Structure 1
Amino acid sequence: MVKDIKVAIIGVGGVGKAFVSQLYNYIEKNASTVSISVVYIGRSSSALISTDYSPLRLTPFVAEEVDKTGTDPLSIPDLIKFLKASGSETILVDNTSSIELANTYPDILSAGIHIATPNKKGFSSEEKLWNDIFAASGNNGGKGGYVFHEATVGAGLPVLSTIRDLVDTGDEITKVEGVFSGTMSFLFNEFAPVVGSESPKAFSDVVKVAKDAGYTEPDPRDDLNGLDVARKLTILARLSGLSIASPTSFPVESLIPKPLESVATPKEFMDGLPTYDSDMGLISNEARGEGKVIRFVGSIDVPSKAVKVGLEKFEYSHPIAGLKGSDNIIAFYTKRYGDRALIIQGAGAGAEVTAMGVLSDVIKIIARIK
């Protein structure tokens, strides 16, 4: 029997467009076993809505079509009603970073609608929202919809599925450590490479290169404040069994010079950053004098319940020191693996790999639908 699935997609930016393309290919390849109809594609200002539940066209220009021919987007209560009225199993794919949408996850799941998302906000904000989401879901045998969020940490890397497998099979996680930001990985691999340079680069120059290449947010302070890494650590710590109130409830080192925290524009920030190059240079030189390099990492020590984000020194031979480009690396230390960590490494950012993580969650949901 062919499964009948209706899908709503919110968010058609970089990740959203990549997801639509990958979903189209998946639908084409699996038409004999599952019937997937995308019946809603929306963004904050407009939406395409299939009022008769026939499948919308999935094209490379879906974002432009939403803007040009879309109508007013449905409110979440109305979207729930619309999806429930289809009479089919339904999946909402949230490709946004909206906390407002994440706040509605418990209502969506309670209505029996499944969720796949790379949106970190719902899983890394206040602990009550985390608890409410999973209490409303069907993940642990409940009656609500399933919710999967693999791409919230490490994009397409199997980070969350690995930690869940470790916990579910009874292993004891003692420590998690790694580079969780593609932006921060690129910055420090360039600024403090293992192979020394006779003319070390200024930190501000490396930030400019990263910004111009699209590695940073439009305002680099959104990366340099460490909050993105803190959100990912919050998710992993909670999956490890720790109670984490919020991503600001543990030490998070910001690399934004104090005087530049409140400047009005990204340009003012970038113009002012060279003034503080010597500060970062001193830290790097001190590490190099010890035969080490600095990297921006997050760590979780489960027995002591210690979570922190910031700069750390690593020997040249350490796997974290040897990263290339914008790769992520996550090391799991557990009772079973002992001193030899289980390491996951690879591209941890980018639209294509993030969309892959979201699609893999959609596939997991479909497999669980009876």
Structure 2
Amino acid sequence: MSSDVLVDIDDNLDFLNLPPYIDEQVQKRVDAANAKGCVLRSIASIDVKSKSVQIRISEVPNHHAFAVSPPGCSCVRFFTRRHERYPLIIQGPSAGADSTASALLAELLQRTRGVSTPRSLALIRRGSSGAFLHNKHSNSMNGNNGIL
């Protein structure tokens, strides 16, 4: 395990009963970030060209858009050719931590594989709350044949 990894995750890990040393390690990272004028945030990065996804806990300065987003809000920055120097930032209320995290992770994984599923299409059409109400009888693909 590298020094940045707190615990190896496998299918059998019980997140409600994590080893106590993890709390100690996380607190050390929080304290180190605070000493630098930073906070820790969970950040996902997507490289469209290489179709790679990276999710990590990173230090961000206290004035950064990710640091000042209120609890319950999502914040996304887009770096494009037009927005190279100053990224486009979208911030707003999320559907809740559990549904947002699971929907975002599912979408990221599907995008890196180049696959659209009925659930990801429902997320795109109706937002995350609509996708959780989605059932097999209401999926009509709306004529897009799964191509986005």
Band of TM-score, shorter chain? 0.5 to 0.7
- CA shift in 2, pair 1:323/1:274, >3 Å: farther
In 2: Cα distance, 1:283 partner to 1:315 partner: 14
Q: Please point out which of 280, 285, 302 is paired with 2:31.
A: 285
Asked if the contact 2:41–2:67 (Cα under 8 Å) also holds between the matched residues in 1, the reply is yes
Q: Please point out which of 98, 106, 128 is paired with 1:354.
A: 128
- Structure 1 SS opposite 2:66: coil
C-alpha deviation, 1:348, in angstroms: 3.2
Give matches, 1:84-163, under 5 Å.
none
Q: Once the two structures are aligned, what percentage of the paired residues are identical?
A: 26
In 2: Cα distance, 1:358 partner to 1:263 partner: 25
- CA shift in 2, pair 1:270/1:305, >3 Å: closer
CA deviation digits over 1:139-193, x for unaligned, max 9?
xxxxxxxxxxxxxxxxxxxxxxxxxxxxxxxxxxxxxxxxxxxxxxxxxxxxxxx
Cross-structure match for 1:189: none
In 2: Cα distance, 1:304 partner to 1:271 partner: 36
In 1: Cα distance, 2:54 partner to 2:5 partner: 12
CA deviation digits over 1:86-108, x for unaligned, max 9?
xxxxxxxxxxxxxxxxxxxxxxx
- Structure 2 SS opposite 1:328: strand
Q: Please point out which of 88, 91, 94 is paired with 1:342.
A: 88
- Structure 1 SS opposite 2:70: coil
Cross-structure match for 2:54: 308
- CA shift in 2, pair 1:271/1:336, >3 Å: closer
Q: TM-score, normalised by structure 2?
A: 0.54
Q: Please point out which of 70, 78, 82 is paired with 1:324.
A: 70
- Structure 2 SS opposite 1:286: helix
- Structure 1 SS opposite 2:79: strand
State the number of aligned residues: 108
Q: TM-score, normalised by structure 1?
A: 0.24
Structure 2: which amino acid aligns with 1:348?
A: S
Cross-structure match for 1:296: 42
Query: Which ranges of structure 1 fall in alignment gaps of 5 or more residues?
Result: 1-252
C-alpha deviation, 1:336, in angstroms: 1.6
CA deviation digits over 1:282-329, x for unaligned, max 9?
111111111111111111345676642111110111011112223221
C-alpha deviation, 1:332, in angstroms: 0.7
Asked if the contact 1:328–1:348 (Cα under 8 Å) also holds between the matched residues in 2, the reply is yes
Q: Which has the higher contact order (CA 8 A, sep 6+)?
A: 1
- CA shift in 2, pair 1:356/1:305, >3 Å: closer
Q: RMSD over aligned Cα, in angstroms?
A: 3.9
In 2: Cα distance, 1:272 partner to 1:358 partner: 29
Give matches, 1:200-215, under 5 Å.
none
Query: Which ranges of structure 2 fall in alignment gaps of 5 or more residues?
Result: 100-125, 134-138, 144-148
In 2: Cα distance, 1:285 partner to 1:345 partner: 27
Asked if the contact 2:95–2:129 (Cα under 8 Å) also holds between the matched residues in 1, the reply is no
Give matches, 1:193-232, under 5 Å.
none
- Structure 2 SS opposite 1:338: coil
C-alpha deviation, 1:254, in angstroms: 6.8
Asked if the contact 1:347–1:353 (Cα under 8 Å) also holds between the matched residues in 2, the reply is no
Structure 1: which amino acid aligns with 2:128?
A: T
In 1: Cα distance, 2:35 partner to 2:70 partner: 22
Structure 1: which amino acid aligns with 2:129?
A: A
